[in-house]
Homo-oligomer: A and B are copies of this chain.
Amino acid sequence: MQRDTRQRRAIRRVFMSVGRPLTPDEVLEHGQRIVPSLGLATVYRNVKALADAGWLSLVELPGGGLRYELAERPHHHHFLCRSCDLAFDVHKCPDEVEELAPEGFEVDGHELILFGRCAECR
């Protein structure tokens, strides 16, 4: 059975308040402001459980480590800051992207990533 622990609540709260994709390390950092004793293993366990439960989804951006974000959000893409390495949401999407595939290829999804410097880093 699933228990509602302090650390699980903190992790959920982090995702809801931050509103952008987070790596496990980022989750740990933010989560420790709520539950200082939070450990990395707990973050990995919960983030995985929340993803299995469909509450989080996996975001794979260039540059190593996986990130997670709230699932069930409207279609969107991402901006990756080359300076601070944080990922942000981009709430617009060019149309008809999936028609760009070569002849004979079957497309079932796409990801658009913008690179640059975020408002903070400029």
As a 0/1 sequence over residues 92 to 122 of chain A, the CB contacts with chain B under 8 angstroms (1 = contact) are 1111111011111111111111111111001
Assess the A101–B113 pair: CB atoms within 8 A: no
In the complex, which of the residues A77, A104, A114 has the most CB atoms of chain B within 10 Å of its own CB atom?
Answer: A114
Q: Which residue of the partner chain B has the closest CB to A113?
A: B111
In the complex, which of the residues A61, A92, A106 has the most CB atoms of chain B within 10 Å of its own CB atom?
Answer: A106
As a 0/1 sequence over residues 13 to 51 of chain A, the CB contacts with chain B under 8 angstroms (1 = contact) are 000000000000000000000000000000000000000
* A71 interfacial by beta-carbon distance below 8 Å: no
Copy total for this chain:
2
* A63 interfacial by beta-carbon distance below 8 Å: yes
Q: Which residue of the partner chain B has the closest CB to A76?
A: B100
Q: Given A108-B116, A116-B108 in contact, is the A102-B79 Cβ separation under 8 Å?
A: yes
Residues of A within 8 A of B (CB): 60-63, 77, 79, 82, 88-98, 100-119, 122
